[in-house]
């Protein structure tokens, strides 16, 4: 009985900060300014199709880059000793202890036209490059800020793989590549799925990175939603509709990734 009472604060927290806001977003999405039911908010999203496409594409690119960088890094870390692993993980997490805005502002000073990179190119006598206010800068900001979200789940799974399994595979004649493809990677798929989800979801909804590193020229879903609630084109009903659609997209992606992970895990067991 006491255990049930202990959950009351959590239930209240969920209701106040999760359930009620979701209900309000849903109500606003399906109502007009005069409070009547309407689907016009969803119909008006057609003019922002490119924003949806751009957000999904850039989020996918950032997720793939994080996977290509994070998986080898996680695998290499898992081969280190315990002390070296702790030091490396601390170094990976160290930037996360800083404020998100400060990290993004730091990249602005690096990528801007008079930033460190262009100053170095000028010192070498090379032409400067337009790095800031581009989609490449936005993807770079996403990768930098969300790479630890890929490394941590993948590393936590790989480091727990029983070494006797890899040794048995080698004893049966498997090469290093065969051991990786037939043993290590299949067993690490749950971590990969978690990492992809943890990177793709915030990358899809970010607005600070696109605003600071994209210079407002690369509008993403987060920027569009913010504009509807706080910008000059104030329309919370349209903003709620866009938010609701984005939540559905995220839930579909999570469902697909979880199903994929379950299928891979069952294949390994078989």
268: Cβ–Cβ under 8 A, 6 or more apart, which residues?
Answer: 186, 187, 189
Q: Would you place residue 262 in the very low, low, confident or very high pLDDT band (cuts 50, 70, 90)?
A: low
Does residue 24 sit within a domain? no
CATH code: domain of residue 75: 1.10.3720.10
Q: Would you place residue 269 in the very low, low, confident or very high pLDDT band (cuts 50, 70, 90)?
A: very low
Mean pLDDT across 71-77:
94
Does residue 37 sit within a domain? no
Does residue 163 sit within a domain? yes
pLDDT value at 253 more than 90: no
Q: Would you place residue 267 in the very low, low, confident or very high pLDDT band (cuts 50, 70, 90)?
A: very low
Does residue 156 sit within a domain? yes
pLDDT at 153: 93
pLDDT at 137: 93
pLDDT at 234: 85
Distances (CA, A) of 121 to 104, 114, 118: 22, 10, 5
Does residue 261 sit within a domain? yes
Give the global pTM: 0.88
Q: Which pLDDT tens digit goes with each residue over 110-166?
A: 999 888 899 998 988 888 898 898 999 999 999 999 999 999 999 999 999 888 888
Burial 173-182 (b: 16+ CB within 10 A, else e): ebeeeebbeb
Total number of domains in the chain: 1
Element (H, E) at 221: helix 221-230
Which range marks the domain in which residue 57 is found? 48-269
Q: Which pLDDT tens digit goes with each residue over 32-53?
A: 988 899 999 999 888 899 999 9
Q: What is the mean pLDDT of the chain?
A: 87
pLDDT at 76: 93
Mean pLDDT across 67-93:
92
pLDDT at 142: 95
pLDDT at 61: 96
Does residue 4 sit within a domain? no
Gap between the Cα atoms of 171 and 103, Å rounded:
47
Q: What backbone torsions phi and psi does residue 114 show, to the nearest 5 degrees?
A: -110, 25
What percent of the chain stands above pLDDT 90? 40
Residue with tokens 């880059």: 65
Does residue 175 sit within a domain? yes
pLDDT at 200: 93
pLDDT value at 268 more than 50: no
Does residue 263 sit within a domain? yes
């Amino acid at each position: 009985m006491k255990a049930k009472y202990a959950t009351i604060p959590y239930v209240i927290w969920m209701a106040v900060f999760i359930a009620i806001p979701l209900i309000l977003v849903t109500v606003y999405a399906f109502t007009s300014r005069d409070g009547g039911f309407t689907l016009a908010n969803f119909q008006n999203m057609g003019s922002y199709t490119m924003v949806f496409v751009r957000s999904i594409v850039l989020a996918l690119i950032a997720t793939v880059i994080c996977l290509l960088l994070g998986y080898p890094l996680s695998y290499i870390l898992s081969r280190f000793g315990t002390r070296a692993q702790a030091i490396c993980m601390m170094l990976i997490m160290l930037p996360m202890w800083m404020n998100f805005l400060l990290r993004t502002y730091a990249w602005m000073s690096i990528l801007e036209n008079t930033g460190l990179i262009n100053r170095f190119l000028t010192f070498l006598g090379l032409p400067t490059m337009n790095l800031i206010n581009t989609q490449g800068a936005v993807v770079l900001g996403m990768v930098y800020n969300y790479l630890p979200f890929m490394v941590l789940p993948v590393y936590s799974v790989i480091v727990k793989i029983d070494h006797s399994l890899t040794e048995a595979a080698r004893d049966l004649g498997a090469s290093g590549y065969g051991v990786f493809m037939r043993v290590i990677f299949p067993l690490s798929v749950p971590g990969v799925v978690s990492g992809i989800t943890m990177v793709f979801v915030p990358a899809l909804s970010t607005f600070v990175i696109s605003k600071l590193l994209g210079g407002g020229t690369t509008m993403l879903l987060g920027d569009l939603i913010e504009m509807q609630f706080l910008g000059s084109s104030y329309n919370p009903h349209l903003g709620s509709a866009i938010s609701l659609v984005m939540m559905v997209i995220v839930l579909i992606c999570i469902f697909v990734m979880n199903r994929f992970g379950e299928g891979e895990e069952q294949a390994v067991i078989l």
